[in-house]
Amino acid sequence: MIRINLLKEEPKVPTAPREAEAIKERKPFPMTSLLGLFFVIAVAVGFLQFNALKKEKNLLNIKQEEKNKLRDVTSKLQTVRDQQDLIVRKISLINLLKSQQGVAVNIMNELSKHIPYWVWLTEVNFSRQQVQIRGRAVDNNLIADYIYSLETSPYFQNVNLQSSTRRRGRGNEYLDFALTATYIFPQISQPSTKVQEKGN
């Protein structure tokens, strides 16, 4: 025989022991999961830092290469400036030598241009802008005129009488004299430094 229950079953209210079972069934969050999560986060942070460090190293290498290129350019520029200074010094020396090339001619020309009658030169020496002049004159006034005339020249200054001695020879009286003077070199033009000014 078969029994059929035609009544609706009432829902069963869980009792307290079932709640305790449910609590027991819930497992705590496993420690291995926490460690795994921490490991994943650490790996991700390490990877990000590694990438950032790699980018920084690349930037540093690029900047170092630029610095090396600039160092090469700076050393080449310094070499060019040194060569330019050397060339300017050589040009100045050449101009100085050219200006002194005709010094003896200038000195003799100026000495003879200003010499009065009855005055003769016997010796002229030139060393380091100092000119030593020796000669003979009939009297002291002619020597004084010669000194005054030399001082008007643009090439001589500080013309001084060093000695004047009366001599007699072949029945004539004359004066041996010695003068010193400072020779003034003509102005020489300096080489243009426009290139150097543009470089600065």
Q: Tens of pLDDT along 52-102? A: 898 999 999 998 888 888 888 888 889 999 999 999 998 988 887 777 677
Are residues 137 and 118 part of one domain? yes
- Domain residues for the domain of 81 are 35-101
Q: Is 90 exceeded by the pLDDT of residue 148?
A: yes
What is the rounded CA–CA span in Å between residue 157 and residue 140? 20
Measured from the Cβ of residue 145, the count of other Cβ atoms closer than 10 Å reads: 17
**Domain-located, residue 41:** yes
pLDDT, residue 164, reads: 92
* Helices 31-101 and 103-113, axial angle in degrees (round to 10): 40
Domain end, chosen from 86, 101, 116, is at: 101
Residues 6 or more apart whose CB falls under 8 angstroms from that of 136 comprise 119, 120, 122, 167, 174, 175, 176, 177
Report the range of poorest mean pLDDT among 62-76, 83-97, 148-162, 180-194. Answer: 180-194
Greater model confidence, 24 or 41: 41
CA 171 to chain centre: 72
**Pair 87, 150 in one domain:** no
Q: Are residues 63 and 79 in the same domain?
A: yes
Residue 73: inside a domain? yes
- Residue 195: pLDDT over 60: no
Tell me the three-class secondary structure of the chain, residue by residue: CCCCCCCCCCCCCCCHHHHHHHHHHCCCCCHHHHHHHHHHHHHHHHHHHHHHHHHHHHHHHHHHHHHHHHHHHHHHHHHHHHHHHHHHHHHHHHHHHHHHHCHHHHHHHHHHHCCCCCEEEEEEEEECCEEEEEEEECCHHHHHHHHHHHHCCCCEEEEEEEEEEEEEECCEEEEEEEEEEEECCCCCCCCCCHHHHHHC
What integer is the mean pLDDT of 123-136?
91
Residue 16: the pLDDT is 57
Boundary residue ending a domain (101, 130, 150): 101
Number of domains in the chain: 2
Q: What pLDDT does residue 74 have?
A: 87
